[in-house]
Amino acid sequence: MSKKERYMEKKSSKPNELVVLWTSGDREAALKMAFMYTLNSKRFNWGWKNVTLVVWGPSSKLLAADTELQEHVSRMKEAGVKLFACKKCSDMYEVSEDLRRLGIEVKYMGKPLTDYLRDNNCRVITV
């Protein structure tokens, strides 16, 4: 195998899916990290084929009540970021319909999260 072939094989084996698991009810953490990195990863093609935001826990309540955060999520959707929310959590906070109206797919996320974590082609970061 030539040096170039080894380089191309190594390069192609890098993970190409990013999942940002947003759990924090901290607005600043959303604006200054979770949302900024998620959107820019997609907009500027930082090497991720797929970029996904998962809204989980206190973040669902925060998002349902904050129009500025909703605008950021709308920009992510327009850029092609996949949007999911944990149904169990959003039901507990009584915001499932609010999140659906934002274009977020609300579903049980325990198994999908486990799959992301076990997938060598995926990187999960938690905010």
pLDDT band at 13 (very low <50, low <70, confident <90, very high): confident
pTM, entire model:
0.89
Q: Is the pLDDT of residue 121 over 80?
A: yes
- Looking at the domain that runs over 15-126, which CATH code has it been given? 3.40.1260.10
The pLDDT tens digits of the residues spanning 83-112 come to 999 999 999 999 999 999 999 999 999 999
- Domain residue spans of the chain: 15-126
List Cβ neighbours of 114 (8 Å cut-off, separation of 6 or more).
none
Q: How confident is the model at residue 1 (pLDDT cuts 50, 70, 90)?
A: low
Higher-confidence residue of 35 and 6: namely 35
| Three-class secondary structure of residue 122 per DSSP | strand
* 101 C-beta neighbours (distance < 10 Å), count: 11
